Amino acid sequence: MASLPLNPELLARLQSKQPLLWLNPKQGQPLPASAPSADLIASAEARLARCAPLMATLFSELAPSHGQVESQLMPATALQHAIVGNDGGDGAWFIKRDDQLPIAGSIKARGGFHEVLAIAESIAIEHGILDPDGDRRVLATAAARALFSQYSVTVGSTGNLGLSIGVMAAALGFDAVVHMSADAKAWKKDRLRQRGVRVVEHEGDYAEAVAAGRQQALAAPRCHFVDDERSAMLFFGYAAAARHLSRQLAEAGRVVDAAHPLFVYLPCGVGGAPGGITYGLKALFGEHVHCFFAEPVASPCMLVQLASGTDAPVSVYDIGLDNRTDADGLAVGQASHLVSPLMASQLAGVFTVADDQLYVQLLALKTSMGVEVEPSAAAGIGGPGWLLGSHEGQAYVRDHGLDMRNATHVIWATGGSLVPPAELRRFQDYAATLAGQACGAMQPAA
Ligand SMILES: *Cc1c(COP(=O)(O)O)cnc(C)c1O
């Protein structure tokens, strides 16, 4: 521990689990030479567009969007007033409603569907069922299903990635296998099993479930392992979100340029989803977009990786944190090694959130806007407050010469619409017990 390349003051604050905003001193430096080309973002956009008719064929709930899997950008003035008081503070707030993404109910629909579609296209082309330029709806025919049934698609997940990959793979006829950590929620396992997905449970944390899944998949023929810690196909599926967001911002009349900064607050687990979206947004808006990740105080894996300033893997366990959080989508001890080197020069910073604060924010969102999310998805809500109200945030604004009156703040809500109503109520009830209470509240019953 003594040899960790973290500044001692930061280390002490992280270890005390005191929420903090860390600013990335390397933001704006050039990307590493190995950084993937932005063409791959365009390829992901093209794949999702050409597969939209297929998606509409596979999932009747996608008929209204013609197979597009996208979410609303919702003005959040009521939340802004609830959080920063009656004058509403500076700028305009929005919530990006990935909690409502169809079929998977979380941000994981973006990366997960993209990767499974890429696998299906490549197998079908290889076997002469699909012409490279052909109509993707052929992938929903009996011939394609018979082919896919000889292949398995495997993933390791705390839950939401499993829901996304498992449901998409099963819908195409693949043998879908999801390796889950023991702490994954029972309703997620049930839902997967109902959709014909095989669920394999593992003791230990998320990383162990991923490792077990990877090992079993590598040993099996005709098996594709979706690797949350390394997958470029997931990453670019997430990155494809950026262009749609830019259209939504334009439709909402929000300009993004030197005089009109865009702030985006993204909950971070292993880093794939928020990292991909950041990569996509940076390609479109450059220095005019400021992306901040939100991580639980017990699981600040991207923060410790970036703050260490090294390429050597650093985990939250290395600094004595236990990676225990109710934000199950964010309970990751070590950041993705595909993503962290890219974020080293693109990310503005990371702020941490205590679990109780997640519930307080989740309840504020429900009370002010009627929006119900899971704890992970509430992590970004504190972002504007950090920026406008903390010394670090104010220093950031000053150093970058930003005019906050024209700022647009996008809080990315990442999951929740599939959470059973009883569970959502339990989150809110627990938050209500926290209101006005100093400490020592009971955790919501599992
Ligand atoms: C997975 C997840 C995230 C974070 O995505 P990573 O790719 O793990 O960083 C955030 N919120 C929810 C609800 C998630 O399921």
Other beta carbons within 10 angstroms of residue 149's beta carbon come to: 12
Question: 112 CB under 6 A from ligand 1?
Answer: no
Nearest-angstrom CA–CA distance, 394 and 95: 22
Per DSSP, the residues of 342-408 read HHHHH--EEEEE-HHHHHHHHHHHHHHH-----GGGGGGGGHHHHHHHSHHHHHHHHHTT--GGG-E
Question: 272 CB under 6 A from ligand 1?
Answer: yes
Nearest-angstrom CA–CA distance, 236 and 275: 10
Q: Look at residue 446 in the predicted model and tell me its pLDDT.
A: 43
Other beta carbons within 10 angstroms of residue 98's beta carbon come to: 29
Question: 226 CB under 6 A from ligand 1?
Answer: no
Residues listed for the chain: 446
Sequence spans of domains, the chain: 8-41+48-56+67-104+240-436, 108-234
Q: Which atom of ligand 1 is nearest to the CA of 159?
A: 15
Q: What's the topology of domain 8-41+48-56+67-104+240-436?
A: Rossmann fold (3.40.50)
Query: In what helix (H) or strand (E) does residue 336 lie, and over which residues does it extend?
Result: none
Question: Residue 327 C-alpha to ligand 1 middle, in angstroms?
Answer: 9
Low-confidence ranges of the chain (pLDDT < 50): 1-2, 438-443, 445-446
Nearest-angstrom CA–CA distance, 372 and 355: 17
The closest residue, in CA terms, to atom 8 on ligand 1 is: 269
Q: Which two tokens stand for residue 259?
A: 């005089």
Q: Look at residue 2 in the predicted model and tell me its pLDDT.
A: 44
Question: Residue 335 C-alpha to ligand 1 middle, in angstroms?
Answer: 12
Question: 415 CB under 6 A from ligand 1?
Answer: yes
Other beta carbons within 10 angstroms of residue 298's beta carbon come to: 21
Q: Look at residue 441 in the predicted model and tell me its pLDDT.
A: 42
Chain mean position to CA 65: 22
Q: Which atom of ligand 1 is nearest to the CA of 374?
A: 13
Nearest-angstrom CA–CA distance, 326 and 63: 35
Question: Residue 225 C-alpha to ligand 1 middle, in angstroms?
Answer: 18
Q: Look at residue 432 in the predicted model and tell me its pLDDT.
A: 92
- Which residues face 264 on adjacent strands? 291, 410
Q: Collapsing DSSP states into helix, strand and coil, what is residue 255? A: coil
Nearest-angstrom CA–CA distance, 435 and 432: 5
Q: Look at residue 210 in the predicted model and tell me its pLDDT.
A: 81
Kindly report whether the global pTM for this prediction surpasses the value 0.85: yes
Q: Are domains 8-41+48-56+67-104+240-436 and 108-234 of this chain identical in fold?
A: yes
Nearest-angstrom CA–CA distance, 181 and 228: 14
Question: 210 CB under 6 A from ligand 1?
Answer: no
Q: Look at residue 436 in the predicted model and tell me its pLDDT.
A: 57
Q: Look at residue 415 in the predicted model and tell me its pLDDT.
A: 97
Alpha helices in 5-102 (DSSP H): 8-15, 39-50, 52-58, 77-84
Question: 106 CB under 6 A from ligand 1?
Answer: yes
Question: 152 CB under 6 A from ligand 1?
Answer: no
DSSP state of 415: B
Question: 274 CB under 6 A from ligand 1?
Answer: yes
Nearest-angstrom CA–CA distance, 440 and 99: 30
Question: 268 CB under 6 A from ligand 1?
Answer: yes
Residue 192 near residue 163 (C-beta atoms within 8 A)? yes
Q: Look at residue 57 in the predicted model and tell me its pLDDT.
A: 97
Q: Look at residue 88 in the predicted model and tell me its pLDDT.
A: 62
Question: Residue 107 C-alpha to ligand 1 middle, in angstroms?
Answer: 7
Residue 343 near residue 309 (C-beta atoms within 8 A)? no
Nearest-angstrom CA–CA distance, 421 and 50: 35
Question: Residue 159 C-alpha to ligand 1 middle, in angstroms?
Answer: 10
Question: Residue 330 C-alpha to ligand 1 middle, in angstroms?
Answer: 6
CATH code for 108-234? 3.40.50.1100
